[in-house]
Chain A
Amino acid sequence: MSANVISGRVWKFGDNINTDLMLPGHVHMATEAEQARAVFQANRPGWVDEMKPGDFIIGGKNYGTGSSRPAARSLRNIGIACLIADSINSLMYRNCVNFGLLAIECPGVSTLFGEEGQIAEVSLEDFTIQNKTTGKALKAQPVPANMLTLMCGGGIYPVLEQEGLIAPKPKTEKPAKVSTGHT
């Protein structure tokens, strides 16, 4: 497999999956680790323990509708290697760019993968999305080169740091204490 091809096991989510499901309000101000634990807690409790780093999410249309909260960062932090959806909400999409989560829009992808656990293979050169389990494939919308660089390179902060516009984040952050029920 070339470096420009990635593959992973898929989890399926439906249409209009909202940001609050991925990053619920009660952990909005909690640590990244606590936010990661809460992904899909309300609609799919226990999922974060079932999924493994390197897995893919296959979404329906308008994936990530909702708020500007960094749901993309939580998906990246739990190890989602790629998000592919019929369409991705533009605010979610820009947070995928911002935080470095590979995100691809591919109309029809939600039906290309009939079942969870199937294996997806994605070419980052011609943006073919293949269901390795069934052998069927679709062409996705190519991700613009500059966006792809950010998605695969850790997002926007490393760039701003390099340009001297922001200070590097201290590496060892103490997890903030969360006051009960008020965040």
Chain B
Amino acid sequence: MGMTMTEKILARAGGGNPVKPGDLVVVEIDAAVFIDNTFFPIYWHEILKVEDPDKIIVVFDHRVPAPDRQAAAAQVVGRNFVKKFGIKRFHDVGRDVGISHVVVADRGYALPGTVLVCADSHTCSGGAFNCAARGVGAPDMIYAATKGKTWFRVGETVRYDVTGKLGAGVTTKDVFLFIANTFGDHANQNVEIGGPGLKHLSINARRTIATMGAEISADFTIFEADDLVIDYVKKRNPKPFEAQYPDEDAVYKARRRIALDEIEPLVALPDAVLNNSVPVKKVAGEKIDQAFIGSCANGTLDDFAIAARVLSGRRVADGVRLIVTPGSQEVYREAVRAGYVQTLVDAGAIVTNATCGACGGGHLGVLGPGEVCITASTRNFKGRMGDPSARIFMASPATVAASAISGAIAHPGEYTREALV
């Protein structure tokens, strides 16, 4: 019986024997990414031995620079851990910091064909690089660091083949919302993405979809590796790798085609991502207090470019806060060089340092009672970004930028007729 990409990566990391849905597999990890949250006393257990310090990466991302004493104390614990075990891949607050999944992309840490874990649900972001990357619990991270291994239940795989090209004003965030709205959850299943439409999607565009895999509850969301991915990773990481492709007779739970040309801008309504989206026009005119563009899903340079394109020469509506947070300081620097930051701040946006920030309601844009927000980030759960009475709509950076200008939810087509991706 043939294997899917996920199955082949897990089989390889598990020692070579074939795996199939239903199996419980123990696998070697290639990378374990520790984030600042893991070092908070509520989560941290002091590690006495590590299996291989070179498998460990430490990135401070959720609460940087430390907004309070607790976060500052956690970072001290993290720095001591790095020092104690001589961890080389350390991204402290400064030049090389960012949201862990974005730093992983910037540095090519997610190697095709390997396994990467991190105690954050959006770790599946690394799937854009043909890496079996996924979020695990903080205890799994401590297990991975001390043993160099972790375990997975192997789920069935759903295959998506993308065709065609996205139309004007449409981004891969809309593609994701289309999948979440049409097919619902993929709990305990893997998602595999390939097809001729991939060649029209940049790595950042693919990363938005891979990152959002967590929001359809997929175990892994893995893209086929093309030359673009292979060259990208090789340029950034000298370690050898072997991308995995599905067997011709791979067995899928379902095989679906997504025609990119047919996707339109969508908005997820408050409180849930699954089966909860409508075309932008249906909610256009809904007044907003805050607009946010950022997170591991939408804090890429492409997202800055899209927002700048929509906001160029325009102003954020009075009474609306537009907060834009780059995914990493590297993205920030490139966005400054490209002039996007100038365009955004001229329009009235607040551009923050790279961090998870408002996405998780941690800092830099927490919502108050009864407020309405439209966000290009990962999640619109009740209470996610602040007060539980706040209403969070979720959409693409183009739709969020258009809404910030209008002061109410607006279709990006009102401000741009161009293809954005």
A contact set with B: CB distance below 8 Å: 16, 18, 20-21, 24-26, 28-32, 35, 41-43, 61-62, 65-68, 70, 87, 89-91, 93-95, 98-99, 144, 147, 155-157, 160, 164-167, 169, 173, 176-179, 181-183
Contact = CB atoms under 8 A, between A and B. Distances in A.
Nearest to B22: A141
A166 B361 contact: no
Given A156-B140, A179-B70, 10 more contacts: A16-B185, A16-B217, A20-B379, A25-B360, A29-B42, A90-B187, A156-B139, A173-B41, A176-B70, A182-B363
A90 B382 contact: no
A144 B48 contact: no
A18 B139 CA distance: 20
B42 to A, nearest CB: 6
A30 B68 CA distance: 13
A87 B41 contact: no
Given A29-B42, A31-B42, A167-B46, A68 B383 contact: no
B72 to A, nearest CB: 11
Interface string B126-164: 000000001111111011001100001101000000000
B143 A61 contact: no
Interface of B: 24, 37, 40-43, 45-49, 67-71, 74, 119-121, 134-140, 142-143, 146-147, 152-153, 155, 185, 187-188, 214, 217, 219, 272, 274, 360-363, 366, 379, 381-384, 388
State the main secondary structure of chain A at its contact with B.
loop
Contacts of A30: 42
A29 B134 CA distance: 22
A167 B69 contact: no
Contacts of B147: 165
Contacts of A183: 68, 70, 362
Contacts of B214: 66
A67 B295 CA distance: 14
A167 B382 CA distance: 37
B61 to A, nearest CB: 13
Contacts of B388: 24, 41-42
Contacts, number: 144
Contacts of A164: 48-49
B45 A167 contact: yes
Nearest to B143: A156
Contacts of B362: 25, 28, 182-183
Given A16-B274, A66-B381, A68-B120, A94 B45 contact: no
A26 to B, nearest CB: 7
Contact of A91 (B37, B137, B155, B185): B137
A157 B139 CA distance: 7
29 contacts: A21-B381, A24-B388, A25-B384, A26-B361, A28-B360, A28-B362, A29-B71, A29-B74, A30-B42, A61-B187, A65-B185, A68-B119, A68-B136, A70-B138, A87-B187, A90-B187, A90-B188, A91-B135, A95-B139, A99-B137, A155-B139, A164-B49, A165-B146, A169-B45, A176-B70, A179-B68, A182-B68, A182-B363, A183-B70
A100 B55 CA distance: 27
A177 B69 CA distance: 9
